Each structure stands twice: as structure tokens, then as C-alpha cells.
Amino acid sequence: MKSKNNEGIVYGIHAIEELLKDSTQIKKIEKIFVDEKKQRSLSSLLNKAREHKISVQYVPEAKIEKLAKGKNHQGIVAHLLDIHYHSLLELVKNNNIRLIVFLDRITDVRNFGAIARSAYAMGVDAILIPSKDTASINADAIKTSAGALLKIPVCKEQNITEALMNLKKQGFQIVACHEKTSKRIYEVDFTKPTVIILGSEHNGILKEYLKICDSEAKIPMNNAFDSLNVSVSAGIVLYEVVRQKEVVCN
């Protein structure tokens, strides 16, 4: 079962280029709107769109501004038919899922997008978010993710504790990554099926989730500092996951 997000707008050259590279996403593009003054500079991208028989409409800049709600659209906006959240249960049941990132109350859409970008690049199989107090898949998040949020499955679950317990029963280890622990990320075996929890920059990870974790780990730093930006932390932790897997393969 999938739930629908009616945002349906993607803006920015890079994000739309990524859409056009993905055969599963191309089918979702209903129409592309282009600033009529930028036809020539965007001709290469628009030719790709036409190759896939996607409707391209040239409109005044004011129309683009309205669709993108004043964001940095670079003169181009795509309208998608729909954006879906995946069911975690069905996703794990029907796919070879081994690495999930759970974002606990990450509300900044740019952090959400940046994490998704790193997650997709580092081979994360799915992102898990709670049903409230969280960023959504909207135009800002998609642009920041460079289109990654349209490629990596995102699961929005109402009962996160139950979802995590179900994942544990299916063999996943739950690893909370935060600075208030002594264990380092290098000491965790990330080659196992894993759920990595990253918490809110303001409130950290909920205690109820920490109680059911199999392990807690931190990013070691040379200089004492409260914390890193959560999207930066995500990239560092996920690189360690990739490093460990490459060591095993070699």
C-alpha cells in the first residue's frame, strides 16, 4: 500500500536532469514548464524530455515563479503525476533490504534532501520517517536531494517503535548514531542488516528508540564540539558503512 503526497512539483535543472535519467520516474512527469526566455539555454534538457514524449510548455517567468513558490527554479519546473510513500512492511517483504536510515523528527527539508542524496549515493535501500514532526517529500527537499528522493523508497510509519521491533525480528540491528555515547562508528559491524537512526539536531533521538537499540555509536572528532549538522553526520556514517562492505568484499 502506498500513500500519496500531492506536492507534485520538482524544480531546478539538476533535479529534473536526474528525473530524466530514471525510466521509472520519467513515466511520472506529466509536463515540464519552462521560462520562455530560457528556451535556448535549456534546449539540451528539453530535447531529452521530448525524446520521452513529455509535454513541454513555454510560459512567462511569473508562471514559473508561482509554481516554484519563489524558490531558485533556474527557469524550469516539472509537474509530476504523483509522489508516493512506501509501506515498510511490504518493502522489506518483497525486496532485498539490508540498510535503512531512520530520520527521527528531522524537520528541515534541506537536511532531509541532503541526507537522501548521500543515502542514495551510498546504497541505502530505504529511508524511514515518522508520520508527524518530520519533513515531507516536497519540491524543496527534492531539489536539495538532486532528485534522489524520487529514486530511494521513503516509508512513513505511524508507530515507529512497532516498526523498529518488527525489523529487529527480521534480523536487523538498530544502531543509534549520536554524540552522547563512547562507542565509535568504526566499532559497529555495519555489514549486517542495519537500521541507522539519526536524530533531530535540537532534540536528539527519542529515549523510547534508544531503549530498543542494539548499539549506539558516535563520530569521533579531534576537537570538542556539540554536534555536526545531521546531513553531514549522515554522510560520514554512511561512508563508514560503504568502507566496511568494501573491506569484506576485497
**DSSP codes, 33-87:** EEEGGGTTTTHHHHHHHHHTT-EEEEE-HHHHHHHHTTS--TTEEEEES-EEEBP
Q: Which helix (H) or strand (E) holds 215?
A: strand 215-217
**96 and 63, same domain (yes or no):** no
Side-by-side strand order, sheet with 29-35: 9-11, 76-80, 29-35, 55-59
Supply the pLDDT for residue 239. Answer: 97
From the CB of residue 211, how many other CB atoms can be counted at a distance below 10 Å? 9
Task: Tell whether the model's pLDDT for residue 4 goes beyond 60.
Answer: no
**Cell numbers found for residue 179:** 554524540
Supply the pLDDT for residue 3. Answer: 36
Q: What 3-state class would DSSP assign to 97?
A: coil
Alpha-carbon span 174 to 60, nearest angstrom: 50
**60 and 92, same domain (yes or no):** no
**Cell numbers found for residue 55:** 509535454
Choose one of 28, 49, 84: the last residue of a domain. Answer: 84
181 close to 210: Cβ distance less than 8 angstroms: no
**24 and 135, same domain (yes or no):** no
Report, as an integer, the average pLDDT of 32-37.
Answer: 92
For the ranges 38-47, 79-88, 174-183, the lowest mean pLDDT is seen at 79-88
User: Would you place residue 226 in the very low, low, confident or very high pLDDT band (cuts 50, 70, 90)?
Assistant: low
For the ranges 30-39, 102-111, 236-245, the lowest mean pLDDT is seen at 30-39
φ, ψ of residue 181 to 5 degrees: the values are -150, 165
Task: Tell whether the model's pLDDT for residue 52 goes beyond 70.
Answer: yes
Report, as an integer, the average pLDDT of 119-145.
Answer: 91
Supply the pLDDT for residue 1. Answer: 33
**68 and 109, same domain (yes or no):** no
Q: Is the pTM of this model over 0.85?
A: no
Convert the pLDDT of each residue in 138-179 to its tens digit.
878 888 998 899 889 999 999 999 999 999 999 999 999 998
Average per-residue pLDDT for the chain: 89
**72 and 160, same domain (yes or no):** no
**154 and 235, same domain (yes or no):** yes
**What is the CATH number for 115?**
3.40.1280.10
101 close to 128: Cβ distance less than 8 angstroms: yes
The letter for the amino acid at 180 is: K
Range of the domain at 24: 3-84
Q: How many domains does the chain have?
A: 2
Convert the pLDDT of each residue in 88-97 to its tens digit.
999 999 999 9
**145 and 75, same domain (yes or no):** no
**187 and 230, same domain (yes or no):** yes
The percent of residues in the chain predicted with pLDDT above 70, rounded, is 94
Supply the pLDDT for residue 7. Answer: 58
The percent of residues in the chain predicted with pLDDT above 90, rounded, is 55
User: Would you place residue 102 in the very low, low, confident or very high pLDDT band (cuts 50, 70, 90)?
Assistant: very high
**18 and 110, same domain (yes or no):** no
The letter for the amino acid at 3 is: S
Ramachandran bin of 40, using left for φ above 0, alpha for ψ from -120 to 50, beta for the remaining angles:
alpha
